[in-house]
Amino acid sequence: MQPADTALIVIDMQNDFCPGGALAVEGGDGIVTGINTLMGDFATVILTQDWHPASHGSFASQHDGQEPFSVIDMPYGPQVLWPDHCIQGGHGAAFHGELVTDRADLILRKGYNPAIDSYSAFFENDHTTPTGLDGYLRTRGIDRLTMVGLATDFCVNYSAQDAARLGYSVTVHQPLCRAIDLDGSLAAALTGMAESGVKLT
């Protein structure tokens, strides 16, 4: 069992990110069993959940003439335009059916502000607006984090780097992550995490 100051953060293990979903990550469903097993090593388990309104500004469908995976400038910086995914209350937003959600101390929903995307479990994509997770962890005396889930190069990456900047000791357990790898995004994410002090195992 991991020490009490350590938490497992399971990032976005949702139907839309698994094979058959609107933004499927190859092999995304193949890590569910391993994540369930790993939960048994942690006293604290936190799940994050993408939770978008149907009109979310990161959806290509909301921008005339734009295709999914193109990039536009938003007030907070460059934004990849995604297929509609993880719409609030829909099947795609639900956790994978085999994920053991009963172990979660906290389920953190993110991306519900239609004007800004939110990859990280800690901040929206302006890197300023907090989700509240930092305060939750600190009041519980947790300063060591292990992260798993989807996708390595986006939500896991942003969460891990933000956590490291906030002073947490962060480990990304790569065997229980999967990546989108959009135009070299995986290599860039791994480099960025390592340079931020994130331990990659």
Q: So which residues are the catalytic ones?
A: 12, 110, 155
What's the Rg (C-alpha) of the chain? 16
At 192, phi and psi to the nearest 5? -65, -40
3-state helix, strand, coil in the chain (%, to 5): 30, 25, 45
Edge-to-edge, what's the strand order for the sheet holding 199-200? 106-110, 44-50, 6-11, 144-150, 169-178, 199-200
> In angstroms, how far is the first alpha carbon of the chain from the final one?
18
Confirm if 159 and 14 have CB atoms less than 8 A apart.
no
Confirm if 190 and 184 have CB atoms less than 8 A apart.
no
